[in-house]
Amino acid sequence: MSVEKLQFQAETKRLLDLVVNSIYTNKEIFLRELISNASDALDKLRIEALTNADLAGDTESEIFIVPDAATKTITISDNGIGMSRDEVINNIGTIAKSGTKDFLDKIREAGNAAAQELIGQFGVGFYSAFIVADKVELLTRRAGTDSAVKWTSDGAGEYELEDCAKDSAGTTIILHLKPEFCGDDEYDFTDVYEIERLVKKYSDFVRYPIKMSFEVKDKPDDEPTIEIRTVNSMKPLWTRSKSELKREDYDEFFKQQLHEWEAPIEIFHVKAEGTVEYTALLCIPKHAAQNLYYSDYEAGLQLYSRHVFIMDKCKDFLPDWLRFMKGLVDSPDLPLNISREVLQQSREVKVIGKALEKNILKQLGKLLKDERDKYEEFWREFGKSIKLGVYNSVFDAKAKDALKDLLLFQTSKEGKLATLAEYVERMPEFQKKIYVAVGKDKAAIEQLPQMELLRERGLEVICLTDPVDEFALEALHSYADKEFQSITRENFELDDAESQKVKAEVEEIAKTREDLLKDVKEAIGEAVHEVRLTSRLKSGAVCLVTGANSPSLSMEKTFAAMNNPYFKATQILELNPNHAVFKKLEGLHAQGKDTPAFKDLCTTLYALALLIEGVMPNNPADLANKITDLLTK
Ligand code: ADP
């Protein structure tokens, strides 16, 4: 039989280098990874056998582990789906998994120093074998075929493939252990009892028997006899009662079952026996996946029926905005061979989904109330999802109602995040609306010229720093009967007596400056809808506000990014009549509305107002020239 030498795909090689050379703090995890692959392979065979009766063999599905001190190896076998030659090349020689790609990208960004920490957060699956082995052999035969192939590698860039003989379908992996893992040092992975302990620790609820052979002697001097035992309990964690389980049990489960690398922020274990019976075990992961909000993110829950795995990534239970939730649903009311199409229509799935959504919302509310720090940790990772939920709940008044109280915002006043209820609680009596402002961050909002008076009056503003914020609040419209009011909208005004007085004064001035305002508008052109005087500025000379009902400037930006250039903000330029620049404007206007000096000042003021709002003026070079001129005059 000929041996073929092949190169690892470049990315795979890099990953292997990292795995082999970086110090995994937890060497043991290789076993969990390989057992989990074996269990997946058994699942796959079972599912294929549903539609291909030839594959349904009469042997029991099992995973067999043989540690062997004499050969310094540990062998892990399964009688699952196995792999064809091409599958070996594609699955083992290549990194196809997006998660692993993410991992490599992160490593690349972070540099090697951080690699060690990062590597602990990601699963590297099969390659974890090279943490403990300096040579790995994999013999595999695809179910339904007669030919088997042997893959061998020392993890250094190349691997060998050759045809081989294998009695039955499935995969056998032989790890040739590095000396330090054979008992010379702190680890002995050739010891049956050590391996038994690890299987119990990490893989106890794997749903297939994990078997090992033990030498037993009745009396110390007897010849040993060999006894085969199943090491794992196989009892799915979610079927146990909550009182029996500790938080660590759940954490370990999510790590094992859902390849989470850190303990989740929160877990939900729900059992229901109503019209539809089900158990769900869900978690909020510690971190949001990098691509969580992109279309390539694969959301969904695992689906079981009577503890038997049916499918992965079932999207039909939870609404899209809850896509960050991970976990599983086990329901005896769903048939084993249900297809994805049938699932979408399934009444049971809808009932379960609605109940889960309600439950999650309730639990999040509880978390916010009872464990604020933990809730804020959740918020930092997944707050965007809640906002998307609000935005998407336009037609679901109940969900919207539950969601609005889960929102947190930075505000101009407190260093801490605030709920809408907390904000409203702090509002002075005369304040009728909830003030909001849009900006790239809190610091940028603080510097808006409109903020000056608000600060002076001790008024608090909610900072909207994520593009989705404005859309979410738009969908909410109001909170506790108080409308949201952007401080950069034309209809914003302060309700206190002092402000109303200044407003009346400015209105008086405006009556006598109608010509000037008309000519400023003419000099700027179509870009602005109106030019007017304002009472909302103190030391600032100009500001730009948007129409009460038009998209805001930042919404316009968001629409443009989505290739929708038709939603435009209605811009209104406001001038502070008490500012020295206004006097100058009046002076130049008196010399003629068509003089270049007057026109230049008008367009410069408009460009500055745009810049304050973080919008690039159409002709920045022209603006720069005008400012330079002014500076040298
Ligand atoms: P992951 O399991 O997370 O996809 P791995 O690197 O562990 O990543 O494995 C890559 C692929 O190799 C698996 O997706 C699977 O297709 C295949 N594979 C690994 N182990 C086995 C096995 N014991 N039997 C069949 N296929 C396997």
Q: Select from 12, 13, 91 the residue to mutate for testing ligand 1; criterion: most ligand atoms less than 8 Å from CB.
A: 91
Measured by CA distance, the residue closest to atom 18 of ligand 1 is: 37
The finding on whether 98 has its CB within 6 A of some atom of ligand 1 is no
Task: Tell me what the mean pLDDT of segment 620-629 comes to.
Answer: 91
Q: Select from 48, 97, 126, 136 the residue to mutate for testing ligand 1; criterion: most ligand atoms less than 8 Å from CB.
A: 126
pLDDT at 121 over 60: no
The finding on whether 125 has its CB within 6 A of some atom of ligand 1 is yes
Where do the DSSP E strands lie in 123-247?
Answer: 133-141, 148-153, 158-164, 170-177, 210-216, 225-230
Cβ atoms < 10 Å from Cβ of 488: 26
Which residues in 264-273 are b (16+ Cβ under 10 Å) and which e?
A: bbbbbbbebe
* Global pTM value: 0.70
- pLDDT confidence bin for 276, thresholds 50/70/90: very high
CA distances from residue 592 to 149, 523, 630 in whole angstroms, order as listed: 90, 12, 19
**Which pLDDT score is estimated for 414?**
73
Half-sphere exposure in the Cβ direction for 440 (13 Å, CA): 7
Torsion of CA 174, 180, 185, 188, to 10 degrees: 0
Quote helix, strand, coil % in the chain, to nearest 5: 45, 20, 35
Weakest-pLDDT range from 183-197, 393-407, 506-520 = 393-407
**Which pLDDT score is estimated for 292?**
92
Check residues 225 and 340 and name the one with the higher pLDDT. 225
Q: What is the pLDDT of residues 251-274, one digit of tens each?
A: 988 887 777 888 999 999 999 998
How far apart are alpha carbons 576 and 532 in whole angstroms? 9
The finding on whether 83 has its CB within 6 A of some atom of ligand 1 is yes
Q: Which atom in ligand 1 lies closest to the alpha carbon of residue 173?
A: 23
Handedness of CA 409, 410, 416, 420 (dihedral sign): negative
- Torsion angles phi and psi, residue 337, rounded to 5: -100, 35
**Which pLDDT score is estimated for 400?**
85
Q: What is the pLDDT of residues 552-568, one digit of tens each?
A: 888 888 888 888 878 88
CA distances from residue 94 to 13, 97, 127, 296 in whole angstroms, order as listed: 9, 9, 11, 19
Q: What is the pLDDT of residues 63-120, one digit of tens each?
A: 999 999 999 999 999 999 999 999 998 888 766 554 566 666 666 666 555 555 555 4
Token pair in block for residue 458? 């001790």
Handedness of CA 463, 465, 470, 472 (dihedral sign): negative
The finding on whether 171 has its CB within 6 A of some atom of ligand 1 is yes
Could you tell me the distance, in angstroms and rounded to a whole number, from the CA of residue 289 to the centre of ligand 1? 21
- pLDDT confidence bin for 607, thresholds 50/70/90: very high
The finding on whether 408 has its CB within 6 A of some atom of ligand 1 is no
Q: What is the pLDDT of residues 282-306, one digit of tens each?
A: 999 999 998 999 988 999 999 888 7
The finding on whether 35 has its CB within 6 A of some atom of ligand 1 is no
